[in-house]
Structure 1
């Protein structure tokens, strides 16, 4: 009988425990002996002795060997060539987490990558996850980053991976213990283990079975998607992916008066733009025949009645004395209700004066249970079915039935619908009674996304468009996905912010500064730098000792990002300065002209109002830029400068939070957009629509309209950078 193969021995330096290798061996089913090598240098990598004379050095090589040696069908090295290659890339990346001092940058990359992913590769734990998880354990800098909340997706992923039993066991047995500070203990105690459920996806989804969870995103095509819809969309996809399930995209097209093909197309475009995939696309109108059939069954079972009480009167009756007053039509016979049901389907005059109400409980403390409308007549042609139907279900009637009929297991809704949860359950139970086999649907709530100085009511947003207070649904002042992106938000920043909110049920009023700060981090490192001078009262500075003929030099468009390329900068005897800068300079003061050198201003001419009209000075290129107080942007005075319109925006709403009792129109800002004429460097004639740039010392801008012809200026929209600034409207002047 052949002797048993020797057990591989993993040797490591004291306190440099290769947690990833130990964990990978456990998951792969490889029996491993772990030893401390007292002779190893403290920064030495691990060594795996496989057989006498055969050793592997370095964590990455060891992990590849262990993953390939798996004795269990774990698939931790991928199930095909592509996933194995992707895993190799992450194994190499894992080294950057502990080498070269680039932990924060590497964590930022991983955090962004994990914004819409559960695992690094595929849909299950792999050796890539084990490698990166192991490298992060015990790093004080990662502990600090995690507690700061700056890398929410990476933090969530480490919790998920660390919860795998084999990895949790390795961490408990082998990780060097670090004593927590009193501040850390107090912070966790105060917040409920690291910040409560904000940013967390540790939710106990009822009856959730891996691989069988089905969620849905059901927008009504009566407007464009706003940032609140974007959260609901990403939340549904995220939860479905977390349970390896599916998400259905369904248009709730039950109100032909408000719905348009334009809105369907814009929603589909936004969903695609955000990289969200769904198992299938459906419409509530796909189920109109079934909904009419279930409606008749509900009438026959006595759970619905026809009511012609005027709308305003019925609203008062549902509110009266906080108990509600029953309609006189509530006692109609089944036969009478069926007859009116036929009139409604025919769209007759009598049918149009009636609606069908659920017979719930008009005295219920929860007003959502006070006989809500289930079906109503509408003769407006439907965007898909035309004039085929005259009766349409309300959202509250159609949604429970279609959710169950389509096999949705979990309906994720914002917590503003909390009062209507009992209504949903009542309707679904009633429909199950008349439609045998209809499954149950669980409701899970998460907090609605709310922002200061912002309304997300589709009715109010429609008002802004209809009254032309904005230029359309994609206006950069609108909180729609298209409006926010047009304003200069990157898709990555928008998704990172939304996902970082987690599945919390806590209602909070968010500051826009937070999301714009995330955006600044996304764009600052790569966007090109350009120069502009405000046209109004621009000042000519004559440099007496500058070359008579202009000279052109090449400078980087971004000094720290070479891929941004270079730009041509013209230096001339006469240059242009902003009036604001000219006002800050004193005679005989030395200043720095950015991307050129120092100059001394010898003479300043002002008019009677104190406006600077001209300046004279001389170059002092041997001067030190470190000693000057003012670093000024400038442009050569030449015909090739590009006319610009710099556009700034204010909030549409002047109140931090609009309450239901507020006069909405009184909360609307009168002036929310203003433009400033400017001149830009000649390189800006090549800017493309949607390109983000930084105007030196002015801020970040996105190109809304590039240069088409010399007489039409380039239109730039100011991008907030997360710092609150009060700006006043400035009229456009000539260039």
Structure 2
């Protein structure tokens, strides 16, 4: 996102402070050690039954926490520390939540094996927020039931107040945002990683081609609403198109598969290839210029050629009109055709405007054109739904193509528009390959916000 924080902090920076706060809670009678097995504890909390350990003495609780749990002894491992809030509050988040638990199996990624027990999120969050000087805790509405618990820790420990602001999490159709489910996709190889362009992560949408200004604008327009809604991706990508359309250089690509060879004839046809300086953007001169090669040998897309009729006048984009000659429209695959140039023709009078590339006089650039689909087939997954049942079997497609010579200078993260194809982000430029690897452009199609865009 380009955001540079003044400081990056971790909860583990405050493990000593949190330990002291827990000791204080025990001393003041607000927490107790409990060795009830998890299944029984879960059942008691659900039914509003007090633990048999709830009335342990302060001395016993302190001993277990500071000696047994701290050292990860056999007795310590059996215990956890619970805050003494309520036994049967209708809000189950307030029923004596666990605030410390032992873990000696996995060393902490920052503190190693120094600690044998660790604070739970519900305890660490309000204590650290207050300690660090947080003024407003921004919390999604899924934590609303826990807000009284957050406030209880601050009030009980007499800490500096923190103002809580709830907002609804943003949901999108045919997308899940659960980190657990997304991690499963990564771990099972269903996607390339957390930055896969199909992933609903910041890195994912950025790799897909979302710009930072458009992302910021979209989020600000949504506002901190408390209403839970499931949005279409249309507005998300439409905001991006507004950013990239005025500045994206125009280039041309012709798919390699069944590319049609075109022989250009007529008085206007160049005997030898010529190059002309043309603007990269028809409406924005500041984008710069590129060299376009004109020659009497071209390639066009098979789909375009299949639509031609012999004798039909078409417009060769960026050049002029021409008449189609010597084409067998009934053929399953059209290998070649001829065009009789008619540069005096009116480009407004033709029905078909087609892209093309000169096949001689320039070095065409090989490219991969990637497009992506939704990861799941259902608009909204329910809690009881099995994710695997709704995974989209095909979520990526790739076509090999030739691009114009000017595209050879494109770099990773450049955004371009391929004429008549759409917008693309450069995932790899020609200089992003290792020695010995085949050099080619790797281009990811950017959705535009049109209905049905992915």
TM-score bracket for this pair, using the shorter chain length: over 0.9
The match for 1:559 among 274, 277, 282 is 282
5 Å-filtered alignment, 1:70-219, equals none
5 Å-filtered alignment, 1:519-530, equals 519-530=240-251
Greater relative contact order (Cα < 8 A, sep 6+): 2
How far apart in 1 are the matches of 2:364 and 2:134? 59
1:616 matched residue in structure 2: 338
How far apart in 2 are the matches of 1:495 and 1:291? 35
2:358 matched residue in structure 1: 636
CA deviation vs aligned residue, 1:121-166 (integer Å, no higher than 9, x gap): xxxxxxxxxxxxxxxxxxxxxxxxxxxxxxxxxxxxxxxxxxxxxx
How far apart in 2 are the matches of 1:641 and 1:446? 51
Following TM superposition, by how much is the alpha carbon of 1:607 offset from its aligned partner in structure 2, in angstroms? 7.6
Q: Does 1:327 align with 2:51?
A: yes
CA deviation vs aligned residue, 1:197-245 (integer Å, no higher than 9, x gap): xxxxxxxxxxxxxxxxxxxxxxxxxxxxxxxxxxxxxxxxxxxxxxxxx
How far apart in 2 are the matches of 1:304 and 1:493? 48
The match for 1:407 among 129, 133, 155 is 133
Note the residue ranges of structure 1 that are not aligned, 5 or more in a row. Answer: 1-269, 433-437, 728-735
2:234 matched residue in structure 1: 513
Following TM superposition, by how much is the alpha carbon of 1:615 offset from its aligned partner in structure 2, in angstroms? 1.5
Change (3 A) 1:584 1:606: closer
Q: Is the 8 A contact 1:643 1:713 kept in 2?
A: yes
1:461 matched residue in structure 2: 182
1:496 matched residue in structure 2: 217
The match for 2:194 among 465, 470, 473 is 473
1:685 matched residue in structure 2: 408
Between Structure 1 and Structure 2, which shows a larger proportion of strand residues?
2
The match for 2:204 among 469, 479, 483 is 483
When structure 1 is superposed on structure 2, of 389-398 and 523-532 the one drifting more is 389-398
How far apart in 2 are the matches of 1:613 and 1:391? 72
Q: Secondary structure at the match of 1:298?
A: helix
1:714 matched residue in structure 2: 441
Give the number of aligned pairs. Answer: 445
2:421 matched residue in structure 1: 698
Following TM superposition, by how much is the alpha carbon of 1:564 offset from its aligned partner in structure 2, in angstroms? 1.4
Q: Is the 8 A contact 1:702 1:719 kept in 2?
A: yes
When structure 1 is superposed on structure 2, of 642-651 and 445-454 the one drifting more is 445-454
Following TM superposition, by how much is the alpha carbon of 1:583 offset from its aligned partner in structure 2, in angstroms? 1.6
1:576 matched residue in structure 2: 299
How far apart in 1 are the matches of 2:400 and 2:40? 55
Change (3 A) 1:403 1:504: same
CA deviation vs aligned residue, 1:147-200 (integer Å, no higher than 9, x gap): xxxxxxxxxxxxxxxxxxxxxxxxxxxxxxxxxxxxxxxxxxxxxxxxxxxxxx
How far apart in 1 are the matches of 2:38 and 2:382? 24
CA deviation vs aligned residue, 1:441-491 (integer Å, no higher than 9, x gap): 221212222222222222222222222222222121122222211111110
Q: Is the 8 A contact 2:317 2:353 kept in 1?
A: yes
2:318 matched residue in structure 1: 595
How far apart in 2 are the matches of 1:286 and 1:481? 26
Change (3 A) 1:316 1:454: farther
How far apart in 2 are the matches of 1:448 and 1:726? 22
How far apart in 1 are the matches of 2:212 and 2:424? 16
Q: Is the 8 A contact 1:450 1:509 kept in 2?
A: yes
When structure 1 is superposed on structure 2, of 628-637 and 349-358 the one drifting more is 349-358
Note the residue ranges of structure 2 that are not aligned, 5 or more in a row. Answer: none
CA deviation vs aligned residue, 1:525-577 (integer Å, no higher than 9, x gap): 01100000011111112223223322222211101111211111112222111
Q: Does 1:359 align with 2:81?
A: no
How far apart in 1 are the matches of 2:27 and 2:175? 46
How far apart in 2 are the matches of 1:537 and 1:311? 64
TM-score of the aligned structures, taking structure 2 as reference length: 0.92
How far apart in 1 are the matches of 2:399 and 2:43? 51
TM-score of the aligned structures, taking structure 1 as reference length: 0.58
Q: Secondary structure at the match of 2:215?
A: helix
The match for 2:156 among 430, 433, 446 is 430
How far apart in 1 are the matches of 2:233 and 2:37? 42
Q: Is the 8 A contact 1:606 1:614 kept in 2?
A: no
Q: Secondary structure at the match of 2:54?
A: helix
Q: Is the 8 A contact 1:606 1:613 kept in 2?
A: no
